[in-house]
Copies of this chain bind each other. A is one copy, B any other.
Amino acid sequence: MQIMRFQLPYHKLNHIFISHLHGDHYLGLTGLLFTMHLQQRTNDLHLYSQRGLDEILLLQLKYSSSVLHFKIIFHLIEPDQRKLIFEDASVTVETIPLIHKISCTGFLFREKAKPRRIDKGRLQEGMLLQHIALLKTGVDIMSPSGNVLYRNTDFTLPPKHSYSYAYCSDTAYSEKIIDQIRGIDLLYHEATFLEGEKDNALETKHSTATQAAAIAKAAEVNTLMIGHFSARYRELETALSEAQSIFPNTVLAIEGKILELDV
């Protein structure tokens, strides 16, 4: 629904990560897959999920007699362990074991280190393309005789920041995740309840806004985004202020919000 609402390009979506099989976290998926099919998608789609999603999808395809135009590659997540589940040239994805009523994992997305950027104003006559490519990797260019021909720092700027983002939903308060997410740019952490319903959070294996903020503070993240608010709350300002009293740089997860990270 939101992909349509915000007119995001479906065809760029090649990897989907599902934290757990509670209905509010995956029931929209089959409709999305059928929409991709109707839009004549042909490129592979990778699904990462706990055990069961493949079985559910296969049954839905069977009873609708559907053969999708594209291949779905299912990746089984093993619960209760941190694991690198995806890596390409620019990003890695690790699972974050969470504590919930059923097997549930968060995901840690990290951009890899980026190349140094050539400071174009300082390029000189006679530099070769292979010199420039080497400079981007951070090395100095040596002459055949062993002298420094071009000193890297004279011609390059530091790489752009490599962003990191953790998605932690749904989970009880869990200090075990802190070292894995330490220092990341953005932590999404569920905050189903207000502090007054702390006992309810414990029982249902959810977190309060205060607990989410305590995790963000202990992990020294840059920004905390809280979400997954219980429908019982008619406003979210209380959740925000409870979190901000512990961790000031907290924002609310509002669908469609675009967040500029100041890192």
Chain A interface (Cβ within 8 Å of chain B)? Answer: 21-24, 27, 30-31, 34, 50-53, 55-56, 59-60, 62-66, 101-102
Contact = CB atoms under 8 A, between A and B. Distances in A.
A23 B27 contact: no
B30 A34 contact: no
Contact of A56 (B34, B52, B59): B59
Nearest to A56: B59
Given A27-B31, A31-B27, A34-B23, A101 B65 contact: yes
Contacts of A21: 60, 63-64
B65 A23 contact: no
A59 B63 contact: no
Contacts of A62: 52
A76 B219 CA distance: 54
Contact of A59 (B31, B34, B55, B66): B55
A187 to B, nearest CB: 26
B30 A60 contact: no
Given A21-B60, A64-B102, 19 more contacts: A21-B64, A23-B30, A23-B31, A23-B34, A23-B60, A27-B27, A27-B31, A27-B34, A27-B60, A50-B63, A53-B63, A55-B59, A55-B63, A56-B56, A56-B59, A56-B63, A59-B59, A63-B102, A65-B102
A56 B52 CA distance: 11
A142 to B, nearest CB: 59
A100 to B, nearest CB: 10
A262 B93 CA distance: 61
Contacts of A56: 56, 59-60, 63
